[in-house]
């Protein structure tokens, strides 16, 4: 089943509340999937700095002295610990060196996502526990997506939780199941993509990353996905400044959207949207099958 939510803010005055609004939306969706939960938050990027969100099954040992350990790659590196996750900030020019050093010194640490603005938090457990463990409610940002999982295609693990991030500042949440993911994964591996799991949704994320690497924008990549992905899907996708939604042509996985002057919101059900400000007067609609919807902060500006 799974529950997915997304929120793309137009009104800057709501930005400090993004984490709280998105957390409420996700917690309401808890009964659509109790296995794991995750949220990606796009905060304000700071010039020349890169963010890497990492996770460890043994944070006490893996995160001990991490800041000092990474200093040789970038003297300005900072590490903020959040339960099983940590957000590493470094000079963007040195980010690759930091990741290399991290991989060689602490190979157990997994990268959840990286980029200029995205932070990704996901764990096994209920949405209410996951959002409080990582302090999501206190986070601000411009847009974000969330997922609560009822596992069907791969194991219930932290790495199998959504969102999946396969490119800088990109992430995806999925409700559904893909039927051609094994073949597509093989093709993407040949193109140089790497995979952390056997999960079908990770393949969808990697597919979009590969298409955007060829020069497509998010909308164009989602349009290609309709031809190349087989199976059931409602996807909500985030990029550094963009937010997209697409459903397969059968469209049996539920989706509701709402738009006001202040935001664009997505929920698996209307219940997820009822606490949003001004929802009574919002334009509320069900996204059409096989139709790409996307918005971009940069293009809107």
Partner 1 sequence: MDLSVKRESLEAMRVFDLATMPLRELNRALHNIAPGANDTNFEVVNPRGSHSVAVGIDQPVTVEVRGSVGYYCAGMNDGGAVTVHGSAGPGVAENMMSGTVVIEGDASQYAGATGRGGLLVIKGNAASRCGISMKGIDIVVHGNIGHMSAFMGQSGHLVVLGDAGDALGDSLYEAKLFVRGEVKSLGADCIEKELRSEHIEKLAELLAKAGITDVKPTEFKRYGSARKLYNFNIDNADAY
Q: Contact residues for partner 1 (CB under 8 A)?
A: 249, 251-252, 254, 256, 269-274, 284-286, 288-289
The one catalytic residue among 2, 203, 208, 222: 2
Considering the complex, what minimum distance in angstroms separates the CB of residue 277 from partner 1? 15
| Residue number, 32 or 85, with CB nearest to partner 1 | 32
* Residue 119: C-alpha distances to residues 215, 276, 286 (Å): 24, 23, 28
Which CB, 29 or 101, lies closer to partner 1? 29
DSSP one-letter code for 268: S
Distance (Å, rounded) from C-alpha 192 to C-alpha 208? 14
- Which residue number, 16 or 278, has a Cβ lying nearer to partner 1? 278
**CB-CB contact of 51 with 41 (8 Å):** no
Looking at the Cβ atoms of 187 and 269, the one nearer to partner 1 is 269
The answer to whether residue 2 is catalytic is: yes
Q: How far is the C-alpha of 9 from the C-alpha of 251, rounded, in Å? A: 26
d(CA 101, CA 107): 9
CB of 24 to partner 1, least distance (A): 12
What is Dmax (Cα atoms) for the chain?
54
Angle at 154 between CA 150 and CA 158, to 5 degrees: 75
Q: How far is the CB of 186 from partner 1 (least distance, A)?
A: 32
Q: Is the peptide bond prior to 163 cis by the omega test (within 30 degrees of 0)?
A: yes
* Residues with a known catalytic role: 2
């Amino acid at each position: 089943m799974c529950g997915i939510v997304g929120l793309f803010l137009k009104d800057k005055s709501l930005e400090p509340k993004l984490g709280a609004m998105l957390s409420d939306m996700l917690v309401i969706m808890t009964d659509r999937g109790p296995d794991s939960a995750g949220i990606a938050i796009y905060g304000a990027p700071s010039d020349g700095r890169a963010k890497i969100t990492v996770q460890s099954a043994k944070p006490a040992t893996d995160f001990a002295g991490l800041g000092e350990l990474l200093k040789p790659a970038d003297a300005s590196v900072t590490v903020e610990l959040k339960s099983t996750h940590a957000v590493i900030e470094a000079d963007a020019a040195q980010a690759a060196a930091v990741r290399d050093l991290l991989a060689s010194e602490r190979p157990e640490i997994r990268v959840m996502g990286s980029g200029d603005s995205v932070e990704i938090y996901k764990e096994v457990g209920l949405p209410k526990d996951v959002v409080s463990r990582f302090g999501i409610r206190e986070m601000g940002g411009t847009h974000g997506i969330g997922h609560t999982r009822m596992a069907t295609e791969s194991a219930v693990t932290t790495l199998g939780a959504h969102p999946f991030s396969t490119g800088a500042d990109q992430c995806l949440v999925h409700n559904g199941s893909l039927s051609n993911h094994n073949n597509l994964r093989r093709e993407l591996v040949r193109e140089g993509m790497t995979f952390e799991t056997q999960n079908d949704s990770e393949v969808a994320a990697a597919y979009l990353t590969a298409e955007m690497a060829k020069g497509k924008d998010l909308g164009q990549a989602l349009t290609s996905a309709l031809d190349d992905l087989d199976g059931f899907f409602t996807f909500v996708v985030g990029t550094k400044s963009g937010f997209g939604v697409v459903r397969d042509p059968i469209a049996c996985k539920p989706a509701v959207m709402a738009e006001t002057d202040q935001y664009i919101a997505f929920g698996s059900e209307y219940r997820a949207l009822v606490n949003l400000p001004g929802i009574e007067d919002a334009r509320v609609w069900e996204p059409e099958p096989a139709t790409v919807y996307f918005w971009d902060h940069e293009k809107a500006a």
